[in-house]
């Protein structure tokens, strides 16, 4: 059964049950302050930026969007992009795309205009749904994406170059389009990046999506009565595929637009949340706010909160020990996965294995794992090799990139590029990464992009970017800068130059040193890691724990 069948079943069985709630505390506080300044305190107190959607409305809105797309000529195999911040319309639009037989193509909301164009071109997107936050970026490239025939605007005050999604979808039929879907049909394209920093288009089938539902529900035992708090961006597999566990059983979810610790705790209490997925820095911030007195737990009823799990980056054992002191009744879990393996769960610690914090776990439900050497042969237990995965959640291929697909997919196995080892109990520990991606706060940073940018500075001869272990963010990007002969340059000057980069891509630390390169001209990053990180991120974290 394709994943759209799960949604249709929920609409039939649980039609009047609220399945999605959107909460936007930032907007709420902004308007509350405005009303208070007008001395309308009672009005300010009653403002809540909260929207709800039932399973029946979810299904109907998805069907309406599907009919809108079909009316615009979208057919099986076409690509429909989604460039939106988290909102209550996001998931119905996603499922509406799937119902047409077209492929949903979620885009990273941090993409610059040029990166958006690159992704649209690579996936050959013909229709794009966009939110108000992206008007300026789309305006800058709208004349350079002729293959995008329709720009559908989701929000108020539609720009002149787009059409209103609400106005066009409202009159469309609410019944499902008569389009048969099979498990092996193409369903979605997600974007990732390799060591070059250029995003790769990852192609998944409906079976992949359904497997992620089954894996998540098996690992965390979601039931109809659970309430899942979704904070990460929905374009990311990590957020959506955790929510898929709730989809499978008809459970509710809350979309929280904001990561302030108080907002998270208030939402858990007010919405009676049972499951929360966090990134390392968000968990750190919550604990810090509790320690400082900013959050007084006595003011909140958190009795239904049963599970806190973390993913997307290495988790310091000290963080979990600290968390369990404050929330001793919480189950804890971590999951490992890639967008190429339909997100989290390919490797799974398990709530019963908290004594193994630091490991990423064992093969997840329905998954197989191996650790192999350069010849693809299994290494001995305790030895380091590359982690490879097999299961129904493995991508079909890198879309329009057969060479990269051949390197990554071999004999049914996905080669992750992550180096790992297995302990005497069979638990897998990540050791280092073949790829140079730096994961900071759960977001991937691609060093090549930053290095190329830095070399555009008149004073810089060469630059290398590596990851350095960080207590809060997991890793931070560190730039090793080699200046031109006889030129003086300060950290402040580099920082000022980097203001042109998006905030999350700016190096957190600048080191002036020679950038070592080998005989073929490649940067010798292992030497830099040995010099500044003690050999590896994981090694440094272990030493920090000690």
pLDDT of residue 296: 97
Measured in degrees and rounded to the nearest 5, phi and psi for residue 121 equal -65, -45
**Distance, CA of 358 to CA of 337 (rounded, Å):** 15
pLDDT of residue 301: 97
Kindly report the pTM of this predicted structure. Answer: 0.83
Helix, strand, coil percent content, the chain, rounded in steps of 5: 40, 25, 35
**Distance, CA of 167 to CA of 98 (rounded, Å):** 21
Nearest residue to 244 via CA among 280, 265, 275, 267: 275
Lookup result for tokens 């908290």: 354
Task: For residue 57, count other CB atoms closer than 10 A to its CB.
Answer: 19
What angle do helix axes 317-326 and 537-545 make, rounded to 10 degrees? 50
Domains and CATH numbers, the chain: 445-545 (3.30.300.30)
Residue 193 makes CB contacts below 8 A (sequence gap 6+) with 199, 200, 437, 444, 446
Nearest residue to 252 via CA among 211, 212, 315, 304: 304
Strands 199-205, 186-193: parallel, antiparallel or unpaired by DSSP?
A: antiparallel
Query: Which of the residues in the chain have pLDDT under 70?
Result: 28-48, 193-197, 312-314, 432-435, 518-522, 534-546
**Distance, CA of 34 to CA of 41 (rounded, Å):** 10
Q: Is 78 helix (H, G, I), strand (E, B) or coil?
A: coil
Residue 358 makes CB contacts below 8 A (sequence gap 6+) with 315, 317, 429, 542
Residue 374 makes CB contacts below 8 A (sequence gap 6+) with 386
**Distance, CA of 482 to CA of 364 (rounded, Å):** 44
**Distance, CA of 330 to CA of 325 (rounded, Å):** 10
Residues 349/307, Cβ–Cβ less than 8 Å: no
H helices present in 72-163, as ranges: 90-99, 113-123, 135-141
Residues 466/525, Cβ–Cβ less than 8 Å: yes
Q: Is 109 helix (H, G, I), strand (E, B) or coil?
A: coil
Residue 82 makes CB contacts below 8 A (sequence gap 6+) with 90, 93, 94, 97, 104, 105, 106, 107, 128, 129, 235
Joined together, the tokens standing for residue 519 give 């005989």
Joined together, the tokens standing for residue 343 give 């997100």
Joined together, the tokens standing for residue 293 give 């007195």
Nearest residue to 425 via CA among 359, 339, 503: 359
Widest CA span in the chain: 74
Nearest residue to 476 via CA among 450, 508, 446: 508
Residue 16 makes CB contacts below 8 A (sequence gap 6+) with 54, 55, 56
């Amino acid at each position: 059964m394709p994943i759209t069948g799960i949604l249709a079943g929920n609409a039939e069985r649980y039609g009047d049950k609220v399945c999605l709630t959107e909460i936007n505390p930032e907007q709420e506080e902004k308007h509350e302050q405005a009303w208070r300044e007008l001395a309308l305190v009672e009005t300010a107190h009653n403002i809540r930026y909260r929207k709800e959607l039932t399973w029946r409305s979810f299904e109907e809105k998805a069907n309406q969007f599907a009919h809108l797309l079909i009316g615009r000529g979208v057919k099986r195999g076409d690509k429909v992009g989604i460039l939106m911040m988290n909102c209550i319309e996001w998931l119905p639009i996603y499922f509406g795309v799937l119902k047409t037989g077209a492929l949903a193509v979620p885009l990273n909301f941090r993409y610059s205009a040029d990166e958006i164009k690159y992704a649209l071109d690579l996936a050959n997107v013909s229709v794009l749904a966009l939110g108000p936050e992206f008007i300026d970026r789309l305006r800058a490239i709208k004349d350079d994406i002729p293959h995008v025939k329709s720009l559908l605007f989701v929000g108020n005050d539609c720009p002149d170059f787009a059409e209103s999604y609400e106005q066009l979808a409202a009159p469309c039929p609410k019944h499902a389009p008569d389009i048969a879907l099979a498990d092996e049909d193409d369903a979605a394209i997600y974007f990732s990046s390799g060591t070059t920093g250029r995003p790769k288009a990852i192609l998944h089938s409906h079976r992949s999506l359904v497997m992620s539902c089954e894996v998540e529900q098996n690992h965390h035992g979601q039931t109809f009565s659970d309430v899942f708090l979704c904070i990460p961006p929905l374009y990311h597999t990590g957020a959506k595929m955790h929510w898929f566990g709730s989809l499978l059983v008809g459970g509710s979810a809350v979309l929280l637009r904001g990561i302030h610790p108080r907002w998270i705790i208030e939402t858990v209490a007010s919405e009676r949340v049972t499951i929360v997925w966090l990134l390392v820095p968000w968990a750190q911030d919550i604990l810090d706010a509790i320690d400082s007195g900013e959050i007084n737990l006595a003011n909140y009823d958190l009795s239904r909160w049963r599970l806190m799990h973390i993913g997307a980056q290495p988790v310091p054992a000290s963080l979990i020990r600290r968390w369990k002191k404050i929330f001793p009744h919480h189950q804890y879990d971590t999951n490992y996965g890639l967008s190429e393996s339909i997100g989290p769960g390919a490797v799974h610690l398990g709530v019963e294995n908290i004594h193994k914090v630091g490991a990423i776990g064992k093969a997840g439900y329905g998954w197989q794992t191996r650790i192999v050497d350069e010849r693809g042969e299994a290494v001995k237990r305790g030895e380091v090799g590359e982690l490879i995965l097999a299961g129904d959640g493995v991508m079909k291929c890198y879309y329009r990139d057969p060479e990269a697909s051949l390197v990554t997919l071999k004999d049914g196995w996905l080669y992750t590029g992550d180096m790992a080892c297995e302990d005497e109990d069979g638990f897998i520990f990540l050791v280092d990464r073949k790829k140079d991606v730096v994961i900071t706060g759960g977001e991937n940073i691609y060093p090549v992009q930053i290095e190329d940018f830095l070399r555009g500075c008149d004073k810089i001869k060469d630059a290398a970017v590596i990851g350095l272990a960080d207590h809060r963010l997991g890793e931070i990007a560190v730039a090793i800068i080699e200046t031109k002969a006889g030129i003086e340059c300060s950290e402040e000057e580099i920082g000022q130059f980097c203001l042109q980069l998006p905030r999350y891509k700016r190096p957190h630390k600048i080191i002036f040193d020679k950038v070592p390169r080998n005989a073929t001209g490649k940067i010798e990053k292992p030497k830099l890691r040995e010099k500044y990180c003690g050999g590896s991120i994981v090694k440094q974290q272990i030493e920090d724990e000690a």
